[in-house]
Amino acid sequence: MSENILFVCMGNICRSPAAEGIMNRLIDEAGLTGRIVCDSAGTIGYHAGEPADRRMRAAAQRRGIALTSIARQFTPGDFERFDRILVMDRANYEDVLDLDPTGRHRSKVRLLCDYCRSHTVREVPDPYYGGEAGFERVLDLLNDACSGLLDAIGAGHVDDHR
């Protein structure tokens, strides 16, 4: 089993780097390092070259999660490099699919919350303009979704989602 996963949000400084960090920790804990590889990207390039937002890094650090990625913009080449592209919200979903006009890679693109087991929200909200509680809520949602995703991959149901 080998899987390349890309997490996508708008700026690649809050939600997607946090999902990448959480998933990498879960992969490590499951002994799957090297078999599942994660990356993250944004639908816009405004923050390209920057580390994750300091507030998200601090919130993740309090949970023992290191966010080390550097922001980059999603490119059409990512469709070829990744088996699964997990987006945070409907706007990200549409923005990513706009770069696949033939629809050839549509089946690779999913909302990350499709894998949540305890939370019922369909989208991961952007905490950028909110307070500390928003970052904590996002980390809770991402942990739930990433755990569900890892279980689905481990069970061989990589295309199944709620």
Which domains, ranges and CATH numbers included, belong to the chain? 3-155 (3.40.50.2300)
Per-residue pLDDT tens for 98-146? 999 999 999 999 999 999 999 999 999 999 999 999 999 999 999 999 9
pLDDT the model gives residue 28: 95
Per-residue pLDDT tens for 10-68? 999 999 999 999 999 999 999 999 999 999 999 999 999 999 999 999 999 999 999 99
pLDDT the model gives residue 154: 86
pLDDT the model gives residue 1: 60
Report, as residue numbers or ranges, the catalytic residues: 9, 15, 126
Other CB atoms within 10 Å distance of the CB of residue 160 = 11
Is the pLDDT reported for residue 76 higher than 70?
A: yes
pLDDT the model gives residue 156: 62
pLDDT the model gives residue 2: 86
Give the separation between CA 61 and CA 55, rounded to whole angstroms.
Answer: 10
Is the pLDDT reported for residue 161 higher than 50?
A: no
Nearest residue to 40 (alpha-carbon basis) of 87, 80, 83, 103: 87
Is the pLDDT reported for residue 157 higher than 60?
A: no
